[in-house]
Amino acid sequence: MSDVPKSHPRYLSLTLRDRIVSGVEQGITSIHGLIAHGRGEAYDYLINEATQPFAHKAIRAAAAMLYLAQHPVISVNGNVAALVPKEIIELGQILKAPLEVNIFHTETGREQKIKEHLQKHDATKVLMPSKDTQLNFIDSNRKYVNPEGIFKADVVFVPLEDGDRCEALRKMGKDVVTIDLNPMSRTAKQASITIVDNVVRALPLLSQAIQTLPKDTDSQETVQQYNNEKILKEAVQYIRRSPNV
């Protein structure tokens, strides 16, 4: 880890870089994950590195959708494992949902390393992809899934992802909740609910929202009234008028 003084104006951002670099060094994160992280940083800058109203609205709907799910599953890739291991495990515990390792770049042994990394952080249920169970409509390594996990899921939580699988999951009739800093990405557009925010800020807020779902509101209605296209438009509009531009 680099020695970033807490007084540095970019302390938080530099700490996150350290986590991703450490993920690569430990063999958890793909080297391509560094590029994805850089792209995320650029979008984060444009949303003022803060959770904006469009993200809060999506978090409320995502909490309701995940709460209502019969069989929710949380997909974990190399960036998520490096950035937010504790937070993703906590979400799994709150939802009583399994974590499932699913990666795009197929470095040997990386899936197992991600599993062990999550277990080191006290994850109890980590499912692994199976070569015998495949999603339709997708050719990459992401097609391999666990028969008791993503294959069976009605709602899949896929933070920080490339677009192919999101589209395949939707075609298979599943709902997808994602967190993606880029409101124009294919994942953002294909998902049922897109939280345009940094996974580091959004995950704790999502867990909190599930735990404090208002008893007097109908979660079903919250989900039905949610319009992802409208939320993405709000995010793009915010970026166009960004105070950082």
| Binding-site member from 161, 164, 175, 234 for ligand PTJ (CB under 6 A) | 161
Q: How far is Cα 140 from Cα 103, in angstroms, rounded to an integer?
A: 9
Q: With binding defined as CB under 6 A, does residue 17 bind ligand PTJ?
A: no
Cβ-closest position to ligand PTJ: 40
Nearest to 51 by CA among 184, 190, 206, 160: 206
Nearer to ligand PTJ, 41 or 213 (CB): 41
Q: With binding defined as CB under 6 A, does residue 179 bind ligand PTJ?
A: yes
Q: In what order do the strands lie in the sheet with 175-179?
A: 126-127, 99-101, 72-76, 155-157, 175-179, 193-195
Stretch that binds ligand PTJ, among 45-53, 92-100, 175-183, 214-222 (CB under 6 A): 175-183
Q: Cβ–Cβ contacts within 10 Å for residue 35, how many?
A: 10
Query: CA end-to-end span of the chain, whole Å?
Result: 31
Stretch that binds ligand PTJ, among 35-43, 48-56, 147-155, 232-240 (CB under 6 A): 35-43
Burial 38-68 (b: 16+ CB within 10 A, else e): eebbebbebbeeebeebbebbbbbbbbbbbb
| Binding-site member from 150, 199, 203, 209 for ligand PTJ (CB under 6 A) | 199
Binding mask 72-111 for ligand PTJ (x = CB under 6 A): -----xxx---x-------------------xxx------
Q: With binding defined as CB under 6 A, does residue 192 bind ligand PTJ?
A: no
Stretch that binds ligand PTJ, among 1-9, 88-96, 158-166, 208-216 (CB under 6 A): 158-166
| Binding-site member from 160, 191, 205, 239 for ligand PTJ (CB under 6 A) | 160
Q: How far is Cα 195 from Cα 158, in angstroms, rounded to an integer?
A: 11
What type of residue sits at position 51? T
CB of 94 to ligand PTJ, least distance (A): 20
Nearer to ligand PTJ, 77 or 207 (CB): 77
Stretch that binds ligand PTJ, among 50-58, 63-71, 128-136, 156-164 (CB under 6 A): 156-164
| Residues engaged in binding ligand PTJ (CB under 6 A) | 30, 32-33, 36-37, 39-40, 43, 77-79, 83, 103-105, 160-162, 179-182, 185, 198-200
